[in-house]
Amino acid sequence: MTTRATQIPVIPDGPQGRSGTQEPPHSLNTWVPALRFAAAGMTGIGLAFGVVAAAQAQPRPPLLEEPVAIAPGFDAHMLVVNIPPAGNGPLTTAGQAGHRHPASTYAYVSKGAVISRLGDGPEKRFEAGQAWSETPLQPHYIVNASRTEPAQLVVVQITKAGVKVLTEPLPKGLAK
């Protein structure tokens, strides 16, 4: 009987990424094909996740920005967004400044919890391991759901080729 070591998947960290295992970091090229497949699948089923652009959010430099090989004319962007604890701030999106993206956006909560609202829809709480989507230019509002613990998102955005501004504040008439 042979035994195999079980590899536990991890979320990429830092600009070099990881190969998806507990092994030491590898070249970004080792997991880019998987991202391409995932981005194509997500685009194909019409999902769109959100990135945080509120003043409280702290995006890191992008993990990845490159053309989508199976969809010429589109670029994939992957980044990590850190959201500090709410402290004495509100634990609701009501009255908060919103934002939007010119992209199909896919957000995954990797740490903590957030409260998110799309347009006029209801607020929803998302905890580590959960995700949501946003369509291009859809108004989005988000706050950290904790007064003491930070939250972190891993975000993938699919844009038309050449788009550089991935987040913009809502025009005054759309903010709620």
pTM reported for the whole predicted model: 0.68
Q: Under CATH, which number does the domain 47-161 receive?
A: 2.60.120.10
Does residue 15 surpass a pLDDT of 50?
Answer: no
**Residue 8 φ/ψ, nearest 5 degrees:** -95, 125
* Strand (E) or helix (H) holding 36: helix 32-44
Kindly report, residue by residue over 23-49, the tens digit of the pLDDT. Answer: 333 344 444 444 444 444 443 333 333
Best CA proximity match to 140, nearest among 176, 87, 112, 108: 176
Task: Please work out, in degrees rounded to the nearest 5, the angle formed at the alpha carbon of residue 130 by the alpha carbons of 125 and 134.
Answer: 75
Kindly report, residue by residue over 88-104, the tens digit of the pLDDT. Answer: 999 999 998 899 999 99
- Which residue ranges make up each domain of the chain? 47-161
The fraction of the chain above a pLDDT of 70, given in percent, is 64
- Indicate if the alpha-carbon torsion angle 149, 58, 39, 122 is positive or negative: positive
